[in-house]
Amino acid sequence: MITIENLSKRYGDNTVVDDVSMQIEKNSITVIVGTSGSGKSTLLRMINRLVEPSAGRVLLEGRDTRSEPAHLLRRRIGYAIQGHGLFPHRTVAENIATVPRLLGWAPERVKARVEELLHVFQLDPAKYSAAFPHELSGGQQQRVGVARALAAEPQVLLMDEPFGALDPIIRAKAQEDLLDIQRRFGTTVVLVTHDMDEAFHLGDRVAVMSGGRLLQYDEPAQLLTHPADPFVSRMTGLGDRALRLLSLTSAAAVALPGAAPGPKLQASASLREALSEMLWSGSQSCEVIGIEGGAPAHLTVDAILEHARPG
Amino acid sequence: MMRTATLLRLLALALLVSFLIVPQKFAPVFAPLTQYGAPPIYDQGNLLGLAIAHLGTVLLAAALSTVVAVGLGILVTRPAGREFLPLSRTLVNIGQTFPPVAVLAVTVPLVGFGEKPTLIALFAYGLLPIFENTIVALQTTPKAVMEAANGMGMSAGQRLVSVELPLAMPLILEGIRLSLVINVGTATIGSTVAAKGLGEVIIAGLLSNNTAFVLQGGLVTALMAVLLYDAMVGLERRVCRAVQVE
Ligand SMILES: Nc1ncnc2c1ncn2[C@@H]1O[C@H](COP(=O)(O)OP(=O)(O)O)[C@@H](O)[C@H]1O
Ligand SMILES: [Mg+2]
């Protein structure tokens, strides 16, 4: 758990992070969103002390992060950035091994961990271990950057617009990978983005920042149904908030028992996707497949619309 | 293309080595340049010995310049040493703008004749390119790479040794190359203060009005400079490949 208490950062007269307090739960993904220059990166970088706070403090598992030298703290916290920052003179394997080596792991353990991560990130070790970063595609470089951040099994992973430089298809894939990996390793992820879709898709909780202040820190649905500030509504988008809300609920969560005519839909799909399928096929219902237990299930347009407004 | 270049280089090396080992064989080439039966080949000392002494002085001076310039370059690019950048730059620039001959004139009374004043003059003259290249290289480490190194938990020293210096190496080597090549020629002035070197051959030629001597001293120096340049370029290529900088 990360506890942020009254954290501020000032550069001269310019307060770029203003008295921010928040609790970040273990094993969750917290997304910090806000317009450019709102202080997101500064807030994130104060967690691993790449930026030293002007006031306030950060506790990691109840322990003040200032109780040890900054570089030792950072070895316990994963950090992945936009543009990956891979070391160009080191191979993929050496890049991934950076923190384990700093921590003095035995060579066999380092090697095993590097291979494990290459597999997790779908990079064939035989092909990519000895490759240099410039020989990889953008998506692969980004994966190696995240693998490097996770190498020493950190409990906390900080990510600053990690997918910002990727094209939409690779970006979507990277987001799915992150969700998988977060579940697999149980890492506590704090991710900065200015992309609201990304925030809604990834975040268990979303923190909205503006002008250095934390406007709202809540579950995504709450941001839509109970915005704390007009700016939050503007950020989340008024025009398609009903559809956004639908995108937060899975078909499995609200499926009705029994079979029904219409297109087939995976249980993991969102209500937004379900509605879109029904509109597309001109059907009033759809069949939900892959429900746990295998029982027949369905959704109707009316049932979906129930979930498209605050209530 | 590559082939021809390599061939030319090997030819230059063969020419230099054979001239230094058996200079008398080249007498017919230089004879037309002499008058009144003067010797066509330098005969007041061992050419090979002079060339080796010359090269030794240049290499030693370059080693000293490298240690000091790279060390200073590292110092002034650290947060703690940043305020010394203007001062260091001024000092290094003086080293380059103060004529080496004048350095000799100033240092001889202090350290006596021979190698020492020459070493000092070459050392001061060779600092600038290495210093400037080191600074540029260390100041232009990609931001994301620095950020990652810090974020991974490298200490400042670990970051310097395992990230900054390896990435700076191609440019630093280029600085050393410039310094070396300039000083192979400049080192000839050492002979005015009795340092062993190829300047002796040129001065002997000037004193006895023997164009052949002057030309021999000049040619051997030039060939050495060219070959040194090539060797350094080769080294830089290998380092660039290891550092993966395109
Ligand atoms: N080292 C610094 N010195 C002065 N101002 C800074 C520094 N770092 C960031 N800032 C300023 O703080 C503000 C917030 O920056 P940042 O946290 O990077 O915003 P974001 O990540 O939300 O785009 C910006 O206005 C930026 O110019
Ligand atoms: Mg930012």
pLDDT digits (tens, 9 = 90+) for B16-60: 999 999 999 999 999 888 888 889 999 888 999 999 999 999 999
Q: If you take atom 21 of ligand 1, which residue's CA is the nearest one?
A: A41
Contact A50 B144 (CB under 8 A): no
Contact B148 A85 (CB under 8 A): yes
CA dist., res. B186 & res. B202, Å (int) = 13
Contact A99 B245 (CB under 8 A): no
Does residue B143 belong to any structural domain of this protein? yes
For the stretch A232-254, pLDDT in tens is: 999 888 888 899 999 999 999 99
Domain count along chain B = 1
Q: Dihedral of CA A168/A171/A176/A182: which sign? A: negative
Of the candidate ranges A182-191, B59-68, B231-240, the one whose mean pLDDT is the lowest: B231-240
The two most distant CA atoms of chain A are separated, in Å, by: 65
For the stretch B143-156, pLDDT in tens is: 999 999 999 999 99
Tens-binned pLDDT, residue by residue, of chain A (311 aa): 999 999 999 999 999 999 999 999 999 999 999 999 999 999 999 999 999 999 999 999 999 999 999 999 999 999 999 888 999 999 999 999 999 999 999 999 999 999 999 999 999 999 999 999 999 999 999 999 999 999 999 999 999 999 988 899 999 999 999 999 999 999 999 999 999 999 999 999 999 999 999 999 999 999 999 999 999 999 888 888 899 999 999 999 999 998 889 899 999 899 999 999 999 999 999 999 988 888 889 999 999 999 998 87
Does residue B38 belong to any structural domain of this protein? no
Contact A79 B151 (CB under 8 A): yes
CA dist., res. B109 & res. A16, Å (int) = 61
Q: How far is A75 from chain B (nearest CA, A)?
A: 5
CA dist., res. A277 & res. A271, Å (int) = 10
Would you state the pLDDT for residue B244?
63
Would you state the pLDDT for residue B243?
74
Neighbours of B131 (CB within 10 A): 29
Does residue B157 belong to any structural domain of this protein? yes
CA dist., res. B42 & res. B48, Å (int) = 11
Q: Dihedral of CA A12/A13/A19/A25: which sign? A: negative
Does residue B12 belong to any structural domain of this protein? no
Would you state the pLDDT for residue A67?
96
Would you state the pLDDT for residue A19?
97
Nearest Cβ partner of B166 from A82, A86, A89?
A: A89
ipTM surpassing 0.95, yes or no? no
Residue type, A309: R
CATH number at B224 reads: 1.10.3720.10
For A173-179, the CB contacts below 8 A with 24+ separation are A173/A139, A174/A139, A174/A142, A174/A143, A174/A146, A175/A201, A175/A202, A177/A121, A177/A143, A177/A146, A178/A29, A178/A146, A178/A202, A179/A29
Judge if the beta carbon of residue A207 lies within 6 A of ligand 1: no
CA dist., res. B152 & res. B132, Å (int) = 29
CA A82 to centroid of chain Cα atoms: 13
% residues pLDDT > 70 (chain B): 98
Considering every ligand atom shown, identify the ligand nearest to the alpha carbon of residue A162 and give its number. 2
Does residue B232 belong to any structural domain of this protein? yes
Q: If you take atom 5 of ligand 1, which residue's CA is the nearest one?
A: A11
Does residue B27 belong to any structural domain of this protein? no
Judge if the beta carbon of residue A11 lies within 6 A of ligand 1: yes
Would you state the pLDDT for residue A237?
83
Residue A286 sits at the chain B interface (C-beta within 8 Å)? no
DSSP state, residue A255: P
Residue A159 sits at the chain B interface (C-beta within 8 Å)? no
Per-chain mean pLDDT for chain A: 94
Q: How far is B148 from chain A (nearest CA, A)?
A: 5
Does residue B212 belong to any structural domain of this protein? yes
Does residue B1 belong to any structural domain of this protein? no
Would you state the pLDDT for residue A228?
94
Judge if the beta carbon of residue A52 lies within 6 A of ligand 1: no
Judge if the beta carbon of residue A67 lies within 6 A of ligand 1: no
Centre of ligand 1 from the C-alpha of residue A35, in Å: 12
**Nearest Cα residue to B217 out of B11, B1, B20, B7:** B20
For the cut 60, the answer to whether the pLDDT of residue B245 exceeds it is: no
Would you state the pLDDT for residue A286?
93
For the cut 90, the answer to whether the pLDDT of residue B63 exceeds it is: yes
Contact B147 A133 (CB under 8 A): no
For the cut 70, the answer to whether the pLDDT of residue B1 exceeds it is: no
Would you state the pLDDT for residue A138?
92
Would you state the pLDDT for residue B246?
47
CA dist., res. A240 & res. B109, Å (int) = 86
pTM of the model: 0.89
Centre of ligand 1 from the C-alpha of residue A40, in Å: 8
Per-chain mean pLDDT for chain B: 92
Phi, psi (5° rounding) for residue A261? -70, 165
Range of the domain at B167: 47-245
